[in-house]
Amino acid sequence: MSIDPRAFRSALGCFATGVTVITTLDPKGRPVGFTANSFNSVSLEPPLVLFSLGRRALSLRAFLSSHDFAVNVLAADQQWLSDLFGKAAADRWAGLDFETWDSGCPILPGAVANFECHTRYTHDGGDHVIFVGEVGAMAYDDQRRPLVFHQGRYRDLP
């Protein structure tokens, strides 16, 4: 049975996800980030999470060379950050407010949750690379509504 890639993408879109901006530092110490909904928990003991990044992504080299990354789970009022990091921009970071924790990876304030991770493993994922990280620090605000993506567009939770 052959799976049509467009139909496969549409079927995957039926799964509602949160929206994240995943960040790291490039070899020169400059911040790098991209929008992803390919974030998932892996294990509670030890605390592991994963994300995948396309092999053709301009930021792939930075993530492969770094030993750390941060996952910023966006709040419903942060769609503008998803849009900013979801497309190529000359300097996404100009004038953008962010914090740094131990690793130096950018942490976006106002997110529903932030996870600072040390890369434990990378795996072949077809046209993507799968990154598994151990969470070393985190923060969350369970009073904020998350930004949700479903069937190719942002959705609002009641």
Domain hosting 46: range is 19-150
Q: Judge whether 3 lies within some domain.
A: no
Q: What is the mean pLDDT of residues 83-108?
A: 92
Whether 35 shows a pLDDT value over 90: the answer reads yes
What's the number of domains the chain is made of? 1
Q: What is the mean pLDDT of residues 59-80?
A: 97
pLDDT value for 1: 77
Q: Which of 14, 15, 12, 20 is nearest to 146 (CA)?
A: 20
Q: Judge whether 156 lies within some domain.
A: no
Q: Judge whether 61 lies within some domain.
A: yes
Q: Judge whether 86 lies within some domain.
A: yes
Q: Which long-range contacts (CB under 8 A, 24 or more apart) does 91-97 make?
A: 92/33, 93/30, 93/31
Q: Judge whether 136 lies within some domain.
A: yes
Taking a C-beta distance cutoff of 8 angstroms, is the pair 19, 84 a contact? Answer: no
Q: Judge whether 13 lies within some domain.
A: no
Q: Judge whether 5 lies within some domain.
A: no
pLDDT digits (tens, 9 = 90+) for 74-87: 999 999 999 999 98
Q: Judge whether 83 lies within some domain.
A: yes
The per-residue pLDDT of the chain, averaged, comes to 95
Q: Give the span between the Cα atoms of 18 and 51, in whole angstroms.
A: 12
DSSP string over 88-109: --S-TTTT---EE-TT--EE-T
Whether 57 shows a pLDDT value over 80: the answer reads yes
Whether 41 shows a pLDDT value over 80: the answer reads yes
CA dihedral 7, 9, 10, 14 (to 10 degrees): 140
* Domain harbouring 91, CATH code: 2.30.110.10
